[in-house]
Amino acid sequence: MPRPNRDGGEARQNLGSSRGIFRAGASLPRWRRTFFMILPDASPLKPFILQRRDQLAKAKVRRSLGQIQGKVGDMPMTRGFQGALAASFKANGAPGIIAELKGGSPFDPSFRTMVPYKALAEDFEAVGAAALSVAVERQAFRGSYSDLATVRDAVDIPLLAQDIIFDLYQILEARLAGADAVVLSAALLGPQLAEFRERAASVAMDALVQVHTPQEVEAALAAGADFICVTNRNIHTFELKPGTCETLIPLIPATKALVVAEGGLGTAADRERLGAAGAKALLIGTALMKDADPAGVLEQVLGIETEAAD
């Protein structure tokens, strides 16, 4: 049964040059602005940002902002994503697992798979995932919002839309597809982070703010984030830096935010170590999806096989 959330025309495009960080239509009404992260040409993320921008332009032609807002207003109540993770930790005394479904990863070009979204989502829920993440970016993760909608129809646990979000329209797309939460990157959104968090809250969605540096932790807290994902991966270089989670999690007061850890994780030892560091949940994707038995890997992370043997 759905749970309540915790606590109860075209946008102007200014693509600019490779200099700077953001360009915004400052004279436009608040929710009609479009923000673009302008990355150095060498950034491996830049092609995905540009492709996603083009996809959004087409989406806005098919369905205007007013149309999508009207449809979102008719959506059922979201399932509390952050609340589900808090409840899982309280019940089990260990970090809950967000199991991610995706058909590929820009961090591992050798990883490509056909995903049986409905069956796998049902398996993850049955094994004991506290929540699911669905990668919806087509080029980077070989996913779509149609995949997320398929998963929404298959399970009752909350869903996170894993997208490269730089436009407020994307938050509405996620809500309309059935997501309960979105990922917002502190590195990408910079000074617009608070505004994007507010937009997510306005449609009853949790915003999971992703950070990788002490400065991003500070920015997230300053923007009012109470749900933070510390990642071992640098999104500007795609480099995986193990130990980042253990370094940054202590910088986040437990009284201010629920912390999720991610990036190269996939073992019971990871769960134990990061739980000791203060994480209340782990997001695990590639370790599950690259294995021939994703649900079996999740069982191992949760310690189910060990418990069955006792």
- Residue 291: alpha-carbon gap to chain centroid: 21
Question: Cα separation of 22 and 180, whole Å?
Answer: 27
Q: What is the pLDDT of residues 92-150, one digit of tens each?
A: 999 999 999 998 676 666 655 678 999 999 999 999 999 999 999 877 677 899 999 99
Q: Rounded to whole angstroms, how far apart are CA atoms 184 and 193?
A: 7
For residues 74-97, average pLDDT: 98
CA 302 to each of CA 102, 157, 260, 281: distance values in angstroms, whole numbers, following the listed order: 20, 17, 16, 12
pLDDT bin (cut points 50, 70, 90) of residue 237 is: confident
Q: CA 13, 19, 21: angle at the middle one, nearest 5?
A: 65
CA dihedral 81, 83, 84, 90 (to 10 degrees): 150
Q: Tell me the mean pLDDT in the region 247-275.
A: 98
H or E element in which residue 276 lies: helix 268-277
CATH topology classification for 81-309: TIM Barrel (3.20.20)
Domain limits, the chain: 81-309
Interatomic CA distance for residues 197 and 223, integer angstroms: 8
Q: What is the pLDDT of residue 236?
A: 85
Helix (H, G, I), strand (E, B), or coil: what is residue 184?
Answer: strand
Q: How many CB atoms lie within 10 A of CB 151?
A: 26
Half-sphere exposure of 131 (CA within 13 A, CB side): 34
The predicted-structure confidence for 273-308, as pLDDT tens digits, reads as follows 999 999 999 999 999 998 999 999 999 999 996 444
d(C-alpha 193, C-alpha 63), whole Å: 25
- What is the distance between the terminal CA atoms of the chain, rounded to a whole angstrom? 33
Rounded distance between C-alpha atoms, residue 159 and residue 261, angstroms: 17
Q: What residues have CB less than 8 Å from 29, skipping those under 6 apart?
A: none
pTM for this entry: 0.85
Listed in order, strand segments (DSSP E) in the chain are: 22-23, 36-37, 96-101, 131-135, 159-162, 181-185, 206-211, 227-231, 258-262, 281-284
Distance CA 219, CA 225 (A): 9
Predicted pLDDT of residue 18:
23
* Stretch (H or E) spanning 247: helix 244-248
Q: Of 166-170, 198-202, 233-237, which range is least confident? A: 233-237
Nearest Cα to 262, choosing from 52, 47, 102?
102
- C-beta neighbour count of 270 within 10 angstroms: 20
